[in-house]
Amino acid sequence: MAEENNENMQSVMGLIINGGNAKSSAFEAIAAAKKGDFALADKKLKEADNFLVEAHNGQTKMLTAEASGEHAQVTLLMVHSQDHLMTAITFRDLAGEIVDLYKRLAEK
What are the residue numbers of the active site? 80
Contact 64/6 with Cβ under 8 angstroms? Answer: no
Contact 88/52 with Cβ under 8 angstroms? Answer: yes
